[in-house]
């Protein structure tokens, strides 16, 4: 409790706040984290072996099927109280490693996506943006799906996410680095802090003099970077933090009917 009060005090007096999120913030919406075991056809793979340009080149229908299944799964779940609490921090810059759209659907419209998005496929050959395939329901877990062809060059369409070994989108990385070096408080939520260069963002904020607050039920390498470590789940801790920092301002659910 004392830690939540200390974190709330830091947030409340901060002029510039950055919220940096990872897979853990979406876990309570039902989106598995990257390090959760896969099921179905993907049981014998791990996410890291499917999320590479080589995997797509070797087995495009396996990889596209996996991403289509993930996209449908994300579309069928909802932002949780953690996402809503982040959206309630009105002036915060939200930087996420997640490829879902749950921050946006919670109300954080200008979220910076460091690792791309499940909803922005593009041609693997010429880079042309591609339309999302029209859907006929969720593909079965574990089903291979052949990727669509690019309308411009007939190359294979790939997911618009950053794979292991690929560069991060330059504009997103620049925006994230700028926000991290200029903020007073960086709140890091639900990330293992192990995948670079994204994991450099909270470290950059700390080096630039910001107070780092971490929300994670487990210890991470960012424990030593954080001034305050809040051990708990995002959906439980973040609403508590917002309510303590700004008692007059409850997290709003944009999906709720106006009263």
Indicate which residues carry an active-site annotation. Answer: 115
CB nearer to ligand APR: pick between 47 and 150: 47
Coil, strand or helix at 259: coil
Coil, strand or helix at 18: strand
Residue 103 dihedral angles phi and psi, to the nearest 5°: -65, -45
Question: Residues 158, 56: contact at Cβ < 8 Å?
Answer: yes
Residue 24 CB neighbour total at 10 angstroms: 25
Give min distance, CB of 169 to ligand APR, in A: 13
Residue 195 CB neighbour total at 10 angstroms: 16
Question: Residues 186, 94: contact at Cβ < 8 Å?
Answer: no
Give min distance, CB of 69 to ligand APR, in A: 16
Coil, strand or helix at 54: helix
The site for ligand APR (CB under 6 A) is made up of: 22-24, 27-28, 33-35, 97, 115, 190-192, 195, 215-218, 220, 233-234
Question: Residues 220, 193: contact at Cβ < 8 Å?
Answer: yes
How would you class 167 by CB atoms within 10 Å of its CB: exposed for 0-12, middle for 13-18, buried for 19 or more? exposed
Give min distance, CB of 197 to ligand APR, in A: 11
**In sequence order, what are the residues at sequence separation of 6 or more whose Cβ sits closer than 8 angstroms to the Cβ of residue 71?**
118, 119, 132
| CA distance linking residue 68 with residue 162, whole number of Å | 15
CB nearer to ligand APR: pick between 34 and 64: 34
CB nearer to ligand APR: pick between 23 and 93: 23
Give min distance, CB of 151 to ligand APR, in A: 28
CB nearer to ligand APR: pick between 100 and 150: 100
Give min distance, CB of 218 to ligand APR, in A: 4
CB nearer to ligand APR: pick between 150 and 216: 216
Residue 67 dihedral angles phi and psi, to the nearest 5°: -70, -35
Give min distance, CB of 97 to ligand APR, in A: 4
Q: Tokens at residue 259, please?
A: 């009263």
Ordered DSSP codes for 159-197: -SBPPTTSPPPHHHHHHHHHHHHH-SEEEEES--S-STT
């Amino acid at each position: 409790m004392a830690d939540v009060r200390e974190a709330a005090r830091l947030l409340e007096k901060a002029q510039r706040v950055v919220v940096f999120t990872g897979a853990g913030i979406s876990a309570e919406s039902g989106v598995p984290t990257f390090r959760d075991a896969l099921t179905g056809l993907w049981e014998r793979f791990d996410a890291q072996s499917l999320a590479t340009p080589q995997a797509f080149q070797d087995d495009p229908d396996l990889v596209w099927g996996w991403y289509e299944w993930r996209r449908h799964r994300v579309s069928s779940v909802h932002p949780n109280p953690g996402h809503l609490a982040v959206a309630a921090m009105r002036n915060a810059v939200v930087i996420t490693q997640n490829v879902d759209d749950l921050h946006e659907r919670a109300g954080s419209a200008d979220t910076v996506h460091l690792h791309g998005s499940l909803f922005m496929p593009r041609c693997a050959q010429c880079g042309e943006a591609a339309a999302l395939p029209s859907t006929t329901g969720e593909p079965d877990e574990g089903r291979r799906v052949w990727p669509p062809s690019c309308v411009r060059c007939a190359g294979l369409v790939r997911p618009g996410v950053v794979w292991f070994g690929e560069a991060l989108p330059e504009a997103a990385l620049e925006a994230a680095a700028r926000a991290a070096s200029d903020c007073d408080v960086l709140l890091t939520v639900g990330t293992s802090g192990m995948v670079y260069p994204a994991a450099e963002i909270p470290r950059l904020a700390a080096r630039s003099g910001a107070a780092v607050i971490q929300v994670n039920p487990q210890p991470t390498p960012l424990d030593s970077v954080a001034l305050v470590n809040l051990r708990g789940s995002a959906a439980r801790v973040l609403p508590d933090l917002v309510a303590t920092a700004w008692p007059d301002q409850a997290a709003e659910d944009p999906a709720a009917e106006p009263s």
